[in-house]
Amino acid sequence: MTSIILLSIFGILNLFMGFMRSNKVLLPGAMLLLLAVFGANLADWNVVHAPYFNNMLVVDNYTVAFTGIVVLTTIVLLPFSRSYVVAGETNLAEYYALLLFSLVGAVMMIGYNHLIMLFVGIEILSISMYVLAGSSKRDSRSNEAALKYFLMGAFATGILLFGIALLYGATGTFVLSDLAGAVAAPENASLQPMLYIGILMMIIGIGFKVSAAPFHFWTPDVYEGTPTFFTAFMSTVVKTAGFAAFLKLLAVALPGAQGFWLPTIQAMCALTLLLGNVGAAVQTSTKRMLAYSSVSHAGYLLIGLVASRGNLTGDAASGIFFYSLAYSIATIAAFGVLKLVADHRQRDDYAALNGLGKTNPLLAFSMTVAMLSLAGIPLTGGFFGKFFLLAAAAGQGYIGLVVFAVIMSMVGLYYYLRPLIAMYLRPAEEGATPVPVDGIQTATLALLALLSIVLGIVPGFLSGIL
């Protein structure tokens, strides 16, 4: 709750800092504000709060843990907006403010206990992202990404809302904890078809937002067209918040309808893994590959939803937390390096990375750790993320799904190694100059690589906390 209030106030404060017409103050300012939010959020750990606003919003360890991920992700993302500062971007204050406001939406999606809050949270997050996707106004690709994201997002919202309306018709309540009883109540048994159609439409609506197949088709286009800085935000914060909301919905409100949604999610999971990994393998642009890879990671996270079987605590929920954290850290590093390289070399295919190991050893190392973590190689956070999720699923007896996921992660190895081959084995172009990186970006990239490795060596301190 404090994090929502602080983020809202700081967002407005950030807009006012824009009046000073000094972009140099804005970046450290925004980072400090977010650090304050991160601290205030952590102070709520293990503190029991009564539900806020008539049971609409709850702050428990689940909320604190996932809020921590989204705020931390945004803090480490901000240094990569340096190119805007240097270029004298006039709307920088608005960009930061929109990022802070969209974080408010993310926190509401994580902490909701009432479907109104879920809807309002999703919309706050999405509407800010529509604007940011089109923030590069003269670039036709950014325009197109904004339009596609907006139309698909609004369409998905409509489907989600119709699902909520049917769920309300079948149960008569919006409160998550009451829904669980109402779904199983015998007097509502005659309304089961309506209930199931409602659940299905809600799954479709949220599936659009977290880009789970078969509703992922907008993802590569939108991620490719959006300015890289905001793509990184989309593929980490939006996905983490979306999965936190998804898990909460299925685990708190709908455990009674498990027989219906478990097979649905299982099918979506297998399809997402297949389409995400095969799609990524055939790409030639690094950014588009990362977009498809984010689809495939949605598939791994869906395994966690299957394994949770309606529990908000335990192995599967902790696995989703750990995976989201490891994935966010690695993705920010990958997009950060890609942004720096693409800004300098004016291209974003694999060949843009050629010879980076010679010209910029640090960038190449950081990208290497990120790619290995995304691929799930041991000694990186991504390995334990996958391990926890797959172990939880295997423990529940979903052996087929686990085997399929392992096969798919081998396909993943193929496309995650391609940037490494380009960086270390291909020579740089004639006269390629080193990519300029300033101090704060160097420090952030080093920190991200360190975090990935620490999570891969001593995962114990963050695993099993939920």
Positions in the binding site for another protein (CB under 8 A): 115-116, 119-120, 123, 127, 130-131, 134, 137-138, 140-141, 143-148, 150-151, 154-155, 157-159, 161-162, 164-166, 168-169, 172-174, 217, 220-221, 224-225
Residue 115 has φ and ψ, to the nearest 5°, of: -65, -25
Does residue 214 have a cis bond before it (omega within 30 degrees)?
A: yes
Work out how close the CB of 77 gets to another protein at its nearest, in angstroms, rounded to a whole number: 22
Phi, psi of 349 (to 5 degrees): -85, 180
| Cβ closest to another protein, residue 134 vs residue 382 | 134
- Nearest to another protein of 149, 350 (CB atom): 149
The upper half-sphere exposure of residue 310, i.e. CA atoms within 13 Å in the direction of its Cβ, equals: 13
State how far Cα 384 lies from the chain centre.
Answer: 18
Counting every residue, how long is the chain? 466
By three-state DSSP, how is residue 349 classified?
strand
Find the shortest distance in angstroms from Cβ 282 to another protein: 12
Q: Whose Cβ is closer to another protein: residue 224's or residue 343's? A: 224
Shortest distance (Å) from residue 271 CB to another protein = 19
For another protein, which is the closer residue by CB, 115 or 405?
115
Least distance in angstroms from the C-beta of 199 to another protein: 16
Residues pairing with 453 in the sheet = none
Of 60, 424, 426, 71, residue with least CA distance to 233:
71
Q: Closer to another protein at the Cβ: 158 or 181?
A: 158
The token pair that represents 302 in the structure block: 């869906």
Name the residue nearer to another protein (CB basis): 145 or 341.
Answer: 145
**Minimum separation from the CB atom of position 177 to another protein (A):** 14
Structure tokens at 156: 């998905």
Q: How many CA atoms lie within 13 A of 126 on its CB side?
A: 24
The distance of closest approach from Cβ of residue 127 to another protein in the complex, given in angstroms and rounded to an integer, is 5
Which amino acid, 240? T
List the structure tokens of 347. 């291209």
The residue written with tokens 């890879």 in the block is 293
